[in-house]
């Protein structure tokens, strides 16, 4: 069983008691061709690779900012399912540092769970190129949903 398959099984187990309809992996993750490459359970860090697809480029040939944010959300989301009860993104703040052009084959998103305050989950994420250069950074706050 691959790492992705193992983590998907854990996410499904974590969501068994929810009454909400849940698809694992989510269609958005599949559409972006995300690939989980590492999970550090002790440090609550998930690393995901996303290819830079032509359909995600802006008119200048760079990855569109919204698609970069979607990649971050598609890394934070699975991590949130591994560390907490069902929740959703409430706030996502992006800081773009460098242009992500189509010369890069992919980007790496490293998402980290920082803390929980009541029903709020706080995350940080870094977007890197293959050489480890930081391209963007993000902070996300997720909200734990009520059990029904």
DSSP assigned state of 86:
S
Are the C-beta atoms of 46 and 79 separated by less than 8 Å?
A: yes
Q: For 43-95, what is each residue's pLDDT tens digit? A: 999 999 999 999 999 999 999 999 999 999 999 999 999 999 889 999 999 99
Token representation of residue 15: 């969501």
Q: Report how far residue 68's alpha carbon sits from residue 32's, in angstroms, rounded to the nearest whole number.
A: 10
CATH classification number, 3-144, choose in 3.40.50.2300, 3.10.129.10, 2.40.128.20, 3.40.50.970? 3.10.129.10
pLDDT digit string, tens, across residues 103-139: 999 999 999 999 999 999 999 999 999 999 999 999 9
Distance CA 32, CA 54 (A): 11
Taking CA atoms, 81 is separated from 21, 53, 65, 86, 136, in Å, by 14, 26, 25, 6, 23
pLDDT at 4 over 80: no
pLDDT at 76: 98
- Closest of 88, 73, 66 to residue 142, by C-alpha: 88
In this prediction, residue 12 carries a pLDDT of 74
Angle formed at CA 92 by CA 29 and CA 143, multiple of 5 degrees: 85
Q: Check pLDDT > 70 for residue 18.
A: no
For range 138-146, the mean pLDDT: 94
More confident residue, 128 or 7: 128
- pLDDT score recorded for residue 1: 63
Which single residue is written with the structure tokens 């949903």? 145
| pLDDT at 6 > cutoff 90 | no
What's the confidence (pLDDT) of residue 57? Answer: 97
Q: Can you tell me whether residue 94 is helix, strand or coil?
A: strand
Tell me which H or E stretch contains 45.
Answer: strand 45-51
Distance CA 121, CA 27 (A): 23
**Predicted TM-score (pTM) of this structure:** 0.90
**148 versus 26: which is more confidently predicted?**
26
Q: What pLDDT is recorded for position 19?
A: 58
């Amino acid at each position: 069983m691959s790492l992705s398959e193992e983590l998907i099984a854990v996410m499904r187990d974590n969501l068994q008691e929810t009454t909400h309809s849940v698809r694992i992996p989510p269609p958005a993750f599949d559409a972006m061709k995300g690939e989980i490459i590492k999970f550090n359970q002790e440090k609550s860090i998930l690393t995901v690779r996303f290819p830079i697809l032509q359909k995600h480029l802006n008119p200048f040939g760079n990855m569109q900012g919204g698609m970069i944010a979607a990649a971050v959300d598609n890394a934070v989301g699975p991590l949130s399912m591994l560390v907490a009860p069902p929740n959703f993104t409430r706030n996502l703040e992006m800081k773009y540092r460098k242009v992500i052009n189509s010369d890069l084959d992919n980007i790496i998103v490293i998402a980290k769970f920082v803390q929980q305050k009541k029903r709020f989950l706080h995350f940080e994420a870094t977007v890197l190129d293959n050489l480890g250069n930081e391209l963007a950074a993000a902070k996300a706050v997720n909200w734990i949903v009520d059990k029904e």
